[in-house]
C-alpha cells in the first residue's frame, strides 16, 4: 500500500522478418503561409525605466486600497468544501506567504532606515563644509584687511 511497485521487465520476442508494411498515405498539401517582411516597423522609444527604487515606490503611494466591506461584497456567497489534504496545503501556503510578507516589510523598513541614515550623513557633511567655508572666508577677510592697511 505505501511502497512503490517493483517494475517487471518484459522480454519481447524477436521481430519477425519478411513482413511488408503498407505504404504510407500521400501527404496533404500544406496551407499557404504569407511571406514575412525582412524589416519590422519601428515601434518608437521604449518606456523610460525609473531611476531609483524610491521613484518606483512613489508612483504607487497614492493608490487606494479597497476597504474590507468592498472585499466582502466581492466574495462569492456559496459554500465550498476542501479536502483535508488540500486544506493543510493551503494553510502552509498562506503561512509561507505571511512569512515572506513579513520579510519584505522588514527589508523595506531597513531600506528606509538606511536612506534616513544616508541623508543624515550627507546633511552632516554639508554642515561641516559650510562651517569650514565660513571659517576660511573669515580668515581670508582677516588676512586681507591686514595686508590692505
* Banded model confidence at residue 148, pLDDT cuts 50, 70, 90: low
- Residue position matching grid coordinates 543624515: 120
Q: Give 94-116 pLDDT, tens digit per residue.
A: 999 999 999 999 999 999 999 99
Distance, first Cα to last Cα, the chain: 109
What SS3 state is found at 117? helix
Q: Give 41-51 pLDDT, tens digit per residue.
A: 666 665 555 45
* Banded model confidence at residue 128, pLDDT cuts 50, 70, 90: very high
> How far from 28 is each of 17, 31, 107, 142, 146, CA to CA, in Å?
31, 9, 61, 101, 106
DSSP for residue 34: P
Q: Give 3-44 pLDDT, tens digit per residue.
A: 666 667 777 777 777 777 777 777 777 777 777 667 766 666
Amino acid at each position: 500500500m505505501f511502497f512503490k511497485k517493483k517494475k517487471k521487465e518484459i522480454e519481447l520476442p524477436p521481430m519477425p522478418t519478411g513482413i511488408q508494411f503498407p505504404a504510407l498515405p500521400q501527404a496533404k498539401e500544406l496551407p499557404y503561409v504569407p511571406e514575412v517582411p525582412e524589416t519590422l516597423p519601428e515601434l518608437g522609444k521604449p518606456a523610460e525605466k525609473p531611476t531609483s527604487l524610491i521613484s518606483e515606490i512613489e508612483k504607487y503611494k497614492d493608490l487606494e486600497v479597497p476597504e474590507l466591506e468592498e472585499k466582502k461584497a466581492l466574495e462569492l456567497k456559496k459554500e465550498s468544501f476542501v479536502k483535508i489534504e488540500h486544506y493543510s496545503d493551503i494553510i502552509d501556503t498562506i503561512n509561507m506567504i505571511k512569512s515572506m510578507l513579513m520579510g519584505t516589510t522588514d527589508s523595506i523598513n531597513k531600506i528606509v532606515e538606511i536612506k534616513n541614515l544616508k541623508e543624515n550623513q550627507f546633511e552632516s557633511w554639508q554642515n561641516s563644509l559650510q562651517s569650514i567655508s565660513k571659517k576660511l572666508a573669515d580668515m581670508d577677510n582677516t588676512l586681507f584687511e591686514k595686508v590692505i592697511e
